[in-house]
Structure 1
């Protein structure tokens, strides 16, 4: 890996085409990535191989994007987000070949959220803070903060704590400990 252009403390593999001038320190961009000029990438991000990032994309700090992900114009990714391999984002819900006058319906992935491998996120949705979308799921509705979604179409099947403890729909963990929602966040009952 090398440092390219005028980037301080950014590692960019020489096989990648990175045109953006706005990449935070300690970020790494691996092989065969394309990052267009208007994209903004935060600090300490890990952009794995074969990732495309279009112009109007903002990525927060400490984000991991696994291989095979495309981030289309309008996407907003918060801090500490995990996007698994081959996650598909859609920003045009009614695509047609050679039709360029469509309404961009970008998704917003809020801080702390995780999206599992091969999940599909329809355009215009929000994945809330610390929410989790399971591998292979097709998300067709907003996922509220701290919620767990799985399936096709994805349905809420539980909750997730800030530190990734999975809870069932009754807000209980696998050991039977009970949680309660405090301002939308699961908190262990005391």
Structure 2
């Protein structure tokens, strides 16, 4: 796991291995971040400036990303710069979050799309019989 300077992580959070939390990310209390989650902080990343010189910190602006209290982010999700993940929301494993996620929403896919409200019980199918 890497946490860059000026990233903020609240109390009682669980940050799993191989995750990258860059400058500008704010994670509130009670948040779960799965393995290999990647945050970004630049909407238009470039290596060089217009005259061909290498870009420096002075050439770009950090774009904040916020993960609200009690949210959960599944393994290998990618969270793009400027997104707000709402309170109690759940981001599915491998999702690419390109837009804000509403409070208590469950989102999944690429790009991440809402599936249902996390406060409603899941409609589980009966377990299938295992034949040996």
Which band: TM-score by shorter chain?
Answer: 0.7 to 0.9
Q: In 1, Cα distance between the equivalents of 2:122 and 2:2? A: 37
Structure 2: runs of 5+ lacking an equivalent: 48-53, 125-132
> Number of paired residues?
116
| TM-score normalised to structure 2 length | 0.83
Q: In 1, Cα distance between the equivalents of 2:69 and 2:81? A: 18
Q: In 2, Cα distance between the equivalents of 1:147 and 1:106? A: 21
Contact preservation (8 Å) 1:90, 1:106: no
Larger relative strand fraction? 1
Higher relative contact order (CA 8 A, sep 6+): 2
Which of 87, 99, 110 matches 1:129? 87
Which of 17, 24, 30 matches 1:74? 24
Residue aligning to 1:99: 55
RMSD over aligned Cα, in angstroms? Answer: 1.3
Q: Which structure 2 residues correspond to residues 1-190 of structure 1 after superposition, within 5 A? A: 51-97=1-47, 98-100=54-56, 101-161=59-119, 167=120, 173-174=122-123
What whole-Å deviation, never above 9, does each CA across 1:108-156 have from its counterpart, x for those lacking one? 0010000000001110100000000000000111001000100001100
* Structure 1 consecutive aligned stretches of length 4 or more whose deviation exceeds 3 Å: none
Shift of the alpha carbon at 1:173? 3.9
Contact preservation (8 Å) 1:138, 1:151: yes
